Amino acid sequence: MSKHTPQQLQPEADHRFHIPVLLDKVVELLAPQSGETYLDLTAGYGGHAQAIANRTGDHKALTLVDRDDNAIKQLQSFEQKGARVVHDDFVHFAQAAVASGDKYDMVLVDFGVSSPQLDRAERGFSILRDGPLDMRMDNRQSKSAFDVVNHTREQELVKILREYGEERPSNAVRVAKAIVRARPLHTTKELADAILSTHRGPYQKIHPATRTFQAIRIAVNDELQQISKLLHIVDNLLQPHGRIAFISFHSLEDRLVKQYLSDEVKAGYEASLQLITKKAILGKIYDVHNPRARSASLRAAVKNKKKG
Ligand SMILES: C[S@@+](CC[C@H](N)C(=O)[O-])C[C@H]1O[C@@H](n2cnc3c(N)ncnc32)[C@H](O)[C@@H]1O
């Protein structure tokens, strides 16, 4: 079987089931005004973008970026109404936009994976739906989960599991050994089974492979490096008084955003941004009916008027 061949295709998930996370709070914090410009660096299926467009009243003022070809296809309806839709990773896009001097009134970064990415077995993100070991958000990229799982040395796998999965050291060693023993692994089920073999007895709510899957996904897509690089430059994309919001889904993402915003605040008079949210706004409190929001945290800031 080739490394990206789907083993068992599931029907495509309906994108209407991607419910945007913390939608009301995002709209409240970004506070769209008629005619303002909006940059969505992780536009996905356009749920947040649509809510913003409903308030600004102009699709032409939307710039929608995503690294996933499937998301880009779903965003065609926005393009037909005049939005700019860009298939790119947000670092590459932001670097080019900064170089061109582009600035926006609102920017949103909603990290992580979308429900359609998780739900489609052939994307290889899911523990519960068997598919090929893929996990690439951008299918133009060559490195996939197959490569990380099968071609990474055991010590390096331990490091990935500890750093990106926040796995306990003893668990990371045990899981890495089980993966190396079971190689070659081709499917998500084979990987999940290898990890389950290290687990004694039945598990409760959370599948024992959850942290490993998160870690491998982060490694495949260089997710934390993407976030760190973006945070270095993203304030340059804001107009004076421009608002920016970040939605994180796990502590590794949120830690980077929190640190970045608190460094900005400490810069005092020199600060380029000011916090709008003193503390993170949590999905488990403010978006209780949306299962995807359970681990979400939202932080937002506004650009100082002197720092155009
Ligand atoms: C949680 S979803 C966004 C959902 C979106 N806010 C909506 O309302 O439909 C995250 C999206 O970000 C994209 N993404 C993740 N990392 C990215 C990156 N570094 N550059 C560009 N897009 C990225 C994923 O492909 C996915 O479509």
Convert the pLDDT of each residue in 242-290 to its tens digit: 999 999 999 999 999 999 999 988 887 778 999 999 999 999 999 999 9
User: Is the per-residue pLDDT at 57 higher than 80?
Assistant: yes
Percent share of the chain, pLDDT over 70: 93
Q: What one-letter code names the amino acid at 99?
A: A
Mean pLDDT confidence for 110-122: 91
Q: What is the pLDDT of residue 16?
A: 46
Please give the mean pLDDT across all residues of the chain: 92
pLDDT confidence bin for 14, thresholds 50/70/90: very low
What mean pLDDT comes out for the span 209-233? 97
Cα 108 from chain centroid (whole Å):
12
> According to the model, what pLDDT value does residue 36 have?
98
> How confident is the model at residue 306, as a pLDDT?
66
Which pLDDT score, from 0 to 100, does residue 10 have?
33
CB 40 within 8 A of CB 49: yes
Mutate to test the pocket of ligand 1, among 67, 90, 234 (most ligand atoms within 8 A of CB): 67
Ligand 1 pocket test: which of 26, 137, 233, 294 has the largest number of ligand atoms within 8 Å of its C-beta? 137
Task: Please determine, for residue 70, whether its predicted confidence score (pLDDT) is greater than 60.
Answer: yes
Which atom belonging to ligand 1 lies closest to the Cα atom of 89? 20
Distance (Å) from CA 183 to ligand 1 centroid:
31
Name, in order, each residue with C-beta under 8 angstroms of 307's C-beta and a sequence gap of 6 or more. 235, 240, 272
Q: Whose CA is nearest to atom 3 of ligand 1?
A: 44
Residue of 42, 48, 50, 111 with the most ligand 1 atoms within 8 Å of its CB, for mutation: 42
- Separation of alpha carbons 285 and 287, rounded Å: 6
Q: DSSP secondary structure string, 102-162?
A: --EEEEEEE-S--HHHHH-GGGS--SSS--BS---SSTT----HHHHHHHS-HHHHHHHHH
Complete domains list, the chain, with CATH: 15-116+224-303 (3.40.50.150), 146-222 (1.10.150.170)
pLDDT digits (tens, 9 = 90+) for 231-251: 999 999 999 999 999 999 999
Mean pLDDT check: name the lowest of 17-21, 31-35, 132-136.
Answer: 17-21
- Residue 308: what pLDDT? 57
- Does the structure show a pLDDT above 50 at 13? no
- What's the pLDDT band for 203 if we cut at 50, 70, 90? confident
Residue whose CA is closest, atom 4 of ligand 1? 44
Residue 144 clears pLDDT 90, i.e. is over it: yes
- Would you state the pLDDT for residue 28? 98
Pocket test for ligand 1, best of 38, 66, 220 (most atoms within 8 A of CB): 66
Q: What are phi and psi of 197, to 5 degrees?
A: -65, -15
Distance 62 CA to ligand 1 centre (A): 16
pLDDT attached to residue 271: 81
Q: Residues with beta carbon inside 6 Å of ligand 1?
A: 18, 20, 42-48, 65-68, 71, 89-90, 110, 112-114, 137, 226
Rounded to two decimals, what is the model's pTM? 0.93
Q: Is the peptide bond before 202 cis (omega within 30 degrees of 0)?
A: no
pLDDT, position 307? 56
CA of 21 relative to ligand 1 center, distance in Å: 12
Q: What pLDDT, on the 0 to 100 scale, is given for residue 15? A: 45
DSSP letter at 11 equals P
